[in-house]
Chains A and B, each alone.
Chain A
Amino acid sequence: MIYLWLALVSRLVPVSRRSDWLAEWLAEAHAAPRAKRLSFVQGALPDALALLRWHFSYPTLESPAVCLAVLASLAALLGAPSASLLALAPALVRLVAPSWRRPAAAAFLLSKVLLAVLVAALATSTLVLPLTAGALAPHVYAIPCYLACRWAFRDQRKRCPVCLCRVGNPVRIGRLPSFFEPVGIESICRRGHGFLFEPLPVCELGSRRWTSLA
């Protein structure tokens, strides 16, 4: 078990140091008291991660001039296809969230995304900062902010495009296995504006659609 764990974690260690690293941990684990051995080898993971981080450091970005040059190159690279992306934007908007098309819905979504990201960033600072003794790398915020954005977009998809209230009273439509009819969940706007059909992930038939009753 311990050998398996160490062998697994050693895959993170750069190849040039791997055998040396594994030999040291095995020797130390052998000497550790049996009762504490499991908690002892848990430290192998931060050790391996530290070595991995040093191996893949970004020396090219250390200098401010090089950092700016790299960013400028990236911007230039991304700038070229942006025109074609802009042409695709309306189709993308229709695909992702039909309710964006109304200005009120767009404003609501934008505000929600901003507030959700703010809450995620503040929560991350509050929860993680005390554990890291005041130093927090910017990339720590990436995952919470991504999850906040994801939540905001998913939430928008569950709302009535007319009144922006969340749809409710979900009813399952169709039966699995079904080859001829779509299977999914149908929810209705409680104010009577329409109903939303969302196919189940296992069903390839049908697509998400809003049926207006107005």
Chain B
Amino acid sequence: MQPPSLSHTAAILLQALAAGHRYGLSIMEATGLPSGTVYPALRRLERDHLVSAHWESEKAAEKEGRPARKYYRPTATGEKALEAARKRYPHLAALFLGPKVAK
């Protein structure tokens, strides 16, 4: 099956997710995109099954003294779409190097 074509913003978001930025605020910091762009774009990616989301455990969050976060990660379809986008946008693969591993 042909992977879906991504918009530039969606490709940047997927690239940031693939580089280890797994939640909205971290993606915002990495990409410089505002919250009003990042969150709706994440919802769209989730709706199109390009990313999946899961909540971290309360225990893990409590240890760090903060509320539990919602983490996103690319699905298999998302990975394929990102690969196609990297061919389309050659500089994309070089973005957000030095992955930040989500806890």
Count, chain B residues at interface, CB 8 A: 20
Surface stretch bound by A, among B13-21, B67-75, B86-94: B67-75
B43 interface hit (Cβ, 8 Å): yes
In the complex, chain A residues whose CB is within 8 Å of the CB of B69 = 24, 27-28, 31
A136 interface hit (Cβ, 8 Å): no
**Are B25 and A28 in contact, with the CB atoms below 8 A?**
yes
**Are B47 and A27 in contact, with the CB atoms below 8 A?**
no
Surface stretch bound by A, among B30-38, B76-84, B95-103: B30-38
Of all chain A residues, which has the CB nearest B23? A28
Q: Within the complex, what minimum Cβ distance (angstroms) separates A43 from chain B?
A: 3
In the complex, chain A residues whose CB is within 8 Å of the CB of B23 = 28
A40 interface hit (Cβ, 8 Å): yes
B40-78 residues with Cβ-Cβ distance < 8 A to A are 40, 43-44, 47, 61, 66-70
A173 interface hit (Cβ, 8 Å): no
Pick the contact of A43 from B36, B47, B61, B68 — CB < 8 Å? B36
A200 interface hit (Cβ, 8 Å): no
Q: Within the complex, what minimum Cβ distance (angstroms) separates B49 from chain A?
A: 14
Q: Measured between alpha carbons, how far is A31 from B47 in the docked complex, in Å?
A: 25
**Are B70 and A47 in contact, with the CB atoms below 8 A?**
no
Q: Measured between alpha carbons, how far is A51 from B40 in the docked complex, in Å?
A: 8
A30 interface hit (Cβ, 8 Å): yes
**Are B68 and A47 in contact, with the CB atoms below 8 A?**
no
Q: Measured between alpha carbons, how far is A24 from B53 in the docked complex, in Å?
A: 11
Q: Measured between alpha carbons, how far is A26 from B66 in the docked complex, in Å?
A: 10
**Are B66 and A30 in contact, with the CB atoms below 8 A?**
yes
In the complex, chain B residues whose CB is within 8 Å of the CB of A24 = 24, 69-70
**Are B39 and A43 in contact, with the CB atoms below 8 A?**
yes
**Are A31 and B35 in contact, with the CB atoms below 8 A?**
no
In the complex, chain A residues whose CB is within 8 Å of the CB of B37 = 43, 46
**Are B36 and A42 in contact, with the CB atoms below 8 A?**
yes
**Are A46 and B24 in contact, with the CB atoms below 8 A?**
no
If A32-B25, A47-B40, A50-B43 touch, does A26 touch B35 (CB 8 Å cutoff)?
no
In the complex, chain B residues whose CB is within 8 Å of the CB of A47 = 35-36, 39-40, 43
Q: Measured between alpha carbons, how far is A26 from B24 in the docked complex, in Å?
A: 12
Give 23 A-B contacts (CB < 8 Å), ordered by A residue: A20-B70, A23-B70, A24-B69, A26-B67, A27-B67, A28-B25, A28-B35, A28-B69, A30-B67, A31-B66, A39-B34, A40-B28, A41-B35, A42-B35, A43-B38, A44-B39, A46-B36, A46-B37, A47-B36, A47-B39, A47-B43, A50-B40, A50-B44
Interface of B toward A, CB cutoff 8 Å: 23-25, 28, 34-40, 43-44, 47, 61, 66-70
* 3 nearest CB pairs, A to B: A43-B35, A43-B36, A50-B40
Given A23-B70, A40-B28, A54-B43, list of 15 further CB < 8 A pairs? A24-B70, A26-B67, A27-B61, A27-B66, A27-B68, A27-B69, A31-B25, A42-B35, A43-B38, A43-B39, A45-B36, A47-B35, A47-B39, A47-B40, A50-B44
